[in-house]
Structure 1
């Protein structure tokens, strides 16, 4: 695909989600990506339902715009082929546990000796160092160890199992792309490549952002439903009459005033500005009762022309049809590999002005 990264060539040894998502982003921006897959070891996303025809939707999405080469890395001929390829490639992305690529004979030091300009990115659960470097894990584990899960969810039910893979994607994939591109910029200045070590747990810990700043510097440990943005205020979700949900984020005074006026709760405007938990809970109760009076569609119509930070909770299918996401080109059609066009999520990075 055309894009700002058309000069880059990526050799991708990763499977599952974090690495493939990162290299998909690079491919979307124009990089040439060659996937190296094991002929005797199936990538789990390839057999993961649901399927579109005979193809896993996850696999066709994560492998778009990429070429594939099957190599058994335990064979000497395959190792020689990798060493040959790496002479002409800019970036290697791998997702094995630490030391696996070294044991295969194609670790960083070996490949660096062949191509000193090589940027080598290793994405792992816990990083290349530390007591957990060889430990198995998944997204839910990384979020737990990173402290993210501790202040999410409800006080009486605990942290929720999220519908998206935050540590894998927002952590591993996005930070990998940032690290790789930063290394590309440095290589333009120095001519030397380098090793980029991405830990999904590190990345998830960094996502704590404001809650982390308060805890580490201020000694204020955030608990579920205790803070402004995690359910401790009226900034929350409210169920409608038809069991759908409405998001209310009207924090600023002008928005909260408009919210209360629109809902016929003008007498409660002062509660929205109060920092007292009891005032926030009183307002939340009033909002809960009020929102339950109408259906989601009715609330959408009421707030359609109100600049109050109130929006419906949409399904993914509904979101794909939302005029804002459609205008941004966030749903694209891609050949799934057999000539049939498949709708997929587009790349959220837009270059230039889109009119």
Structure 2
């Protein structure tokens, strides 16, 4: 495979101790961009992502996707021999990503101060819900909790908070923030020659997503409420039900887009009403809703297909994955796993990069140990002690 096909991070080596979604999605982005990612997995407490349905060839489709392009080394971190393996790995790796609660890695002797002795250039990223310090540092949390505490949930929805279709805080507030922090630290290391400890908190990442609203509140404006702002239901910018129970997304905010939209629905005289302040467009929205409800989604799709006015159909995920735009851009890829064809979404940062389905637990244990210089007898001893599996 050519270097161009491998990705811009080819040559970078990452140790991933994380499970479930936020950390593994971050390391997936790194792996998709060419980094060599080795997952350190427990042989006795497998990642719950591996248990999810549906399954392909006996393995979770979610695992095959989120952990693609990675190797798996099964280590029992409670065994001293396994800790020695990690320390030898750290000596030749660039990045370590962990997602344990604060203090867990320190109890194992794998905290940043300890591992920095093995490799001063190590970039050590701790991804947690609330960070390494503060009153909530040791508190359990999920995406819904971070969105609640960050204020984002308070002005999402109609009259009460709604659940997002995906894990916004986990992915945008956690995974992507971690990748940005890691890449920034890599750039810094070019001049300093040293690594650093990155303390990435999903709740803080979610809080930072309040970029627009917080600017107003910071100047003394009242906190936003559901359905009162331009972008959360207080204007014509909204979803409208069609005759067949589907939805049309109307984002025609600018005057030229609003005029084109109202001309398309044969109501050009309504365009002036779109300039009314947020919260004062309920009557207009009711009239728009009535018009949209008269036709099916396909009728509206055909009418707006050639118009540039920020109006699109709300697609189901299977429809989105088949959309010509995403297909043309190479965002939908076909892979084979155990003789079965599976479809995965590509990394938008390296769409044509390699894509290998997630590895079996401990699939690369022997390979990784041999790379570290362990002999056959030593590997056999590690397996016999239970420190290594696979």
Q: TM-score range by the shorter chain?
A: over 0.9
Displacement of 1:49 in angstroms is 1.7
TM-score (norm 1): 0.96
CA-based RMSD: 1.3
Distance of 1:192 and 1:52 partners within structure 2: 43
Q: What CA deviation, in whole Å up to 9, does each residue of 1:95-147 have, x standing for no partner?
A: 00001001011111111011000000000000001000000000000000011
Determine whether 1:342 maps to 2:339. Answer: no
| Greater RCO (Cα-Cα under 8 Å, separation 6 or more) | 2
Displacement of 1:15 in angstroms is 0.2
Conservation of the 8 A alpha-carbon contact between 2:335 and 2:341: yes
Determine whether 1:76 maps to 2:80. Answer: yes
Conservation of the 8 A alpha-carbon contact between 2:32 and 2:350: no
Displacement of 1:326 in angstroms is 0.8
Displacement of 1:351 in angstroms is 8.3
Conservation of the 8 A alpha-carbon contact between 2:130 and 2:202: yes
Determine whether 1:213 maps to 2:229. Answer: no
Match of 2:227 among 200, 222, 225: 225
Displacement of 1:7 in angstroms is 1.9
TM-score (norm 2): 0.87
Distance of 1:134 and 1:26 partners within structure 2: 27
Determine whether 1:133 maps to 2:133. Answer: no
Determine whether 1:327 maps to 2:331. Answer: no
Closer, same or farther: CA 297–305 of 1 in aligned 2, 3 Å: same
Distance of 2:351 and 2:318 partners within structure 1: 26
Determine whether 1:88 maps to 2:88. Answer: no
Closer, same or farther: CA 230–242 of 1 in aligned 2, 3 Å: same
Distance of 1:351 and 1:344 partners within structure 2: 11
Q: What CA deviation, in whole Å up to 9, does each residue of 1:273-316 have, x standing for no partner?
A: 121633x1121011100000000011000111111111000011
Conservation of the 8 A alpha-carbon contact between 2:234 and 2:278: no
Give the match for residue 295 of structure 2: 294
Displacement of 1:350 in angstroms is 4.5
Distance of 2:108 and 2:335 partners within structure 1: 35
Give the match for residue 248 of structure 2: 246
Distance of 2:284 and 2:71 partners within structure 1: 55
Give the match for residue 270 of structure 2: 268
Displacement of 1:184 in angstroms is 0.2
Conservation of the 8 A alpha-carbon contact between 2:227 and 2:279: no
Segments of 5+ residues of structure 1 without an aligned counterpart are none
Displacement of 1:207 in angstroms is 0.6
Give the match for residue 19 of structure 2: 15
Distance of 2:339 and 2:185 partners within structure 1: 37
Segments of 5+ residues of structure 2 without an aligned counterpart are 353-390
